[in-house]
Structure 1
Amino acid sequence: MKQALGIREVPKATTWVTLSLQHLFAMFGATILVPFLVGLDPAVALASSGLGTLAYLLITRGKIPAYLGSSFAFIAPIISAVSLGGPEGAMIGTFFAGIIYGVVAIAIRAAGLNWLLRLLPPIVVGPVIMVIGLGLAGTAISMAMNNPETEAYSGLHFTVALVTLGVTIAASIFLRGFLSLIPILIGIVSGYTSAYFVGLVDFTPVRDASFFEVPDFIIPFADYNPAQVFSWEILFVMVPIALVTIAEHIGDQMVLSKVAGRNFLKTPGLHRSILGDGVATMIASFLGGPPNTTYGENIGVLAITRVFSVFVIGGAAVLALIFGFIGKVSALISTIPTAVMGGVSILLFGIIASSGLRMLIDNKIDLGEKRNLIISSVILVIGVGGAFIQVTEELQIAGMALATIIGIILNLVLPGGNTKESIESMFEESNEDHTAA
């Protein structure tokens, strides 16, 4: 299929903004949902995603048209980190997660990629991704069913959540073209409208907000002393999840390479792409935003429009940064009822769990083999069941972090793993020299 715009082509001024807005809308719903769930400022998430994407484009030498937004994998770890050290503690964990990206990028540059894929094969990553979605299921249901003021069941709130969920599902299945890429945003708008008509929306914050308003940044050394909020427990909660998101990043790069007809793992190189992701995450930690990751929604936009221009992606990043400083937008986001976000989350968290299952299927993982069955079973029960190891009185390894670590250990020590074949199958398509038609 012929591309509309090449990676380094600059669109005409009359269409540039429209094409960039399209990418902004594609990532908007998911990017603001993450900070909404973990208690961070959505305006900061928008600003940090814009800055992070610009940094990513710079580090990858303007050769990879990828947009970075809030990572769902870190929702539960951020919530745990906030309970341990407040939002500032979560930023410490986010920073060190970004450091892991940098270390992995250096290791890939020096030793190649196979060692990482042996450490994180599909049989480990797939179940851990399922844990991410299933572990958040309780949060989604609580938001959908309960009145946030009384924390008791509310039929009214649950009805709004079901309307939101129904519209989101319908938009995903029945809409075509660009609208099919923004079902989350359509669902949120529809749910918000229904919530307004039943009296769950208060526009007072929007009326009181200034048009221009600096987001609620959390700046190290200005707002807090990192040394005073640092704890090993926070690191053990958040840092291991970086290994999972790195594996997801590799998958995104493979898909993007296929869509664009380029081998981005080779040029400019996966080490640059992972480094860009890590720097974007560290930028978020300096501002008070959630960790960033490459967005599949925006890859979908690229696949449909065939507009691969990094200038369009950069335009979307600049628009996101601008939106973060518009007080009316931030205030409007804050008025979205939790029931609306709960309704959307039911689908999103389920999709995350299902994507882990899809990874197992796509990579032809045979759960009839005892080795694979044991690894996946242990990861699922430990991760979803909430197991933890109390290392010291203050240090605890729990949830997804523990499940990831145990999954890696089991994969390394149990006999029978054919890593050579799995690595070759993962790169079968990405190593071809695709040529855009």
Structure 2
Amino acid sequence: MKQRKAALDVNEVPAMNKWLVLSLQHLFAMFGATILVPFLTGLPPSVALVSSGFGTLAYLLITRGKVPAYLGSSFAFIAPIIEVSQSSGVAGAMVGSFLAGLVYGVVALLISMFGTKWLMALLPPIVVGPVIIVIGLGLASTAVDMAMYLPGQEENIYSGKHLMVALVTLAITIIASIYFKGFFALLPILFGIIGGYVFALTQGIVDTSGIQEEWTAITSAGSFMGVLAAIFQMPEFVVPFVDFSPLEVVSWEIAFLMVPFALVTITEHTGDQMVLSKVVGKNFLKEPGLDKSILGDGVATFIASCLGGPPNTTYGENIGVLAITRVFSVFVIGGAAVIAIIFGFIGMVTAIIGSIPTAVMGGVSILLFGIIASSGLRMLIDNQIDFGEKRNLIIASVILVIGVGGAFVQVTEEVQIAGMALAAIVGILLNLVLPGKEKGYGNGRMFEEPAVEEDEKNNQVA
């Protein structure tokens, strides 16, 4: 089967009359998921957009403009950010993100020195798959609570109206996922949020006061400069050594809660790079190299931690856009990043995002978190993990029960290793200790370099 020729290759510059539209495609593909993460964690969506844009630009620079990938908010860090924020505030979450970024740097250095076999030994599919399942299932109660209960109450108060809005949102998202075709099939989250928002307006549960305030400020401005001042606003950045002292916040507890998830997202990043290589027809694991792309991912997370945004990661939605449109240009990806940064400074955008009811986000989250758990199951299936082997059954079972059950280890009076972090650590240790390590690899395809030579030949075909 011949691969279609690229509409725009990686280093091709699009025509000016098409550049904006092509970049907006990528922005819309990641928009729904990227604003959902800060919405759930209590971080400002405007900061998430800005850090996503700057992180993507840094990634493109570090990979020398050879990898057309957009980076958005990482779902894997939702639970640890919430947990750390409750105990150490936003500053603690940012310190944790910074430490996770350090792990990316260390892993990138080790890969450049020793290759990827050691990473495969540390994180085979039998460990990573169940951990991803735990990440999704661990967030399930958050999605259900948002869908069922009145927001902002000290005690959970059931609301049939909010549940109905959540279910309508979920239904729209599912319909968009199943029945929409082409580029629109990549935007089910965005369609779900928009459709749920419109339905929520009919139910009277949308607070539009913030939007009205922004509109009043714009229309009442007496001059052109006044209008610009009303439209553009500074996001609520949280900057280290300005808003807080990292050395006073950092602790072993934060490290144990945040750092293990970096290993999972690094493995997911590797999978994304393999898929992207097959889509584009270039082996990105060799050129510019997995070490460069992981380093770029880590720097993007560094940037987010210095601005007050959630950690960044490569986005599957944007890979889908590449596959459908065949537009591989890094200039288009860079354009999307610049637009995201601009959107982060527009007060009306922030006000609209802030007015989205929790029930709408809850409805979308029911599907999204389930998909995260299912993707872990898919990893086990794709790698043909044999659960007839007791070793595999034991590792997966222990990870699932510890992670979903909320087990924890009290290391000191202040330091606690809990839930998903503990599950990941225990899974890694079990895999290293139990005999028969080769059985946890399955067919070993997770870190197998993608065969793109034939694709490269096909790209020569008109």
Establish whether TM, by shorter chain, passes 0.5. Answer: yes
State the shift of 1:225 in Å.
Answer: 1.1
1:75 equivalenced with 2:89 (yes/no) = no
Is residue 264 of structure 2 the alignment partner of residue 259 of structure 1?
Answer: no
1:3 CA drift (Å)? 1.0
1:114 and 1:423 in contact (8 A); partners too: no
Residue 196 to residue 420, structure 1, CA distance change in 2 (3 Å):
closer
Q: How does 1:205-244 map to 2 (within 5 A)?
A: 205-209=210-214, 210-244=230-264
The equivalent of 2:113 in structure 1 is 110
Q: Quote the residue 1:36 is aligned against.
A: 39
Task: Tell me the amino acid that sits aligned with residue 389 of structure 1.
Answer: V
Match of 2:224 in 1: none
Larger radius of gyration: 2
Measured in 1, the distance between the counterparts of 2:389 and 2:152 equals 49
RMSD: 1.2
Residue 44 of structure 2 aligns with an amino acid whose one-letter code is D
Preserved CA contact (<8 Å) 2:97 2:310:
yes
Aligned to 1:426, the other structure's residue is in SS state: coil
User: After the TM superposition, which segments of 4 or more aligned residues of structure 1 sit over 2 Å from their partners?
Assistant: 419-429, 431-434
* 8 Å CA contact 1:117, 1:423 repeated in 2: no
1:25 aligns with 2:45: no
1:119-130 to 2 correspondence within 5 Å?
119-130=122-133
Q: Assess if the C-alpha contact under 8 Å between 1:135 and 1:384 holds in 2.
A: yes
Contact kept in structure 2, 1:371 and 1:414, CA below 8 Å: yes
Correspondent of 1:162 among 161, 167, 170: 167
Matched, 1:91 2:94: yes
Provide the C-alpha distance between the structure 1 equivalents of 2:290 and 2:254, rounded to a whole number of angstroms: 28
Identity of aligned residues (%): 69
What is the distance in 2 between the residues matched to 1:179 and 1:321? Answer: 23
TM-score by length of 1: 0.98
- How do residues 36-435 of structure 1 correspond to structure 2 at under 5 angstroms? 36-150=39-153, 151-209=156-214, 210-418=230-438, 422=442, 424-428=444-448, 430-433=450-453, 434-435=455-456
User: Hey, what's the Cα distance between the residues in 2 that align with 1:430 and 1:221?
Assistant: 43
CA–CA distance in structure 2, aligned partners of residues 426 and 143 of structure 1 = 35
> Following TM superposition, by how much is the alpha carbon of 1:149 offset from its aligned partner in structure 2, in angstroms?
3.4
For structure 1, the residue ranges without an aligned partner over 5 or more in a row are none
- Please state how far the C-alpha of 1:204 moved relative to its aligned partner: 1.1
Q: What displacement does 1:423 show? A: 7.6
Q: Deviations over 1:302-361 (max 9, x none)?
A: 000000000000000000000000000001100100000000000000000000000000
- CA distance in structure 2 between the aligned counterparts of 1:64 and 1:81, rounded to whole angstroms: 33
Answer yes or no: is the 8 Å Cα contact 1:84–1:234 preserved in 2: no
Aligned residue type for 2:159 = S
Measure how far apart 1:16 and its partner are: 0.5
Change over 3 Å in CA distance of 1:206–1:187 after alignment to 2: same
Mark the CA change 1:420 to 1:123 in structure 2 (over 3 Å): closer, same or farther.
Answer: closer
Q: Is the 8 A contact 2:149 2:159 kept in 1?
A: yes
Determine helix, strand or coil for the equivalent of 1:373: helix
User: Does the Cα contact within 8 Å between 2:125 and 2:440 map onto a contact in 1?
Assistant: no
- Length-normalised TM-score, structure 2: 0.93
Residue by residue over 1:218-271, the C-alpha shift from the partner in whole angstroms, topping out at 9 and shown as x without a partner, is 011111111122111011000110000000000000100011101000000000
Q: Which residue is equivalent to 2:223? A: none
Q: Give ranges in structure 2 of 5+ residues lacking alignment.
A: 215-229
Letter in 2 for 1:365: I
Aligned partner of 2:208: which letter?
A: F
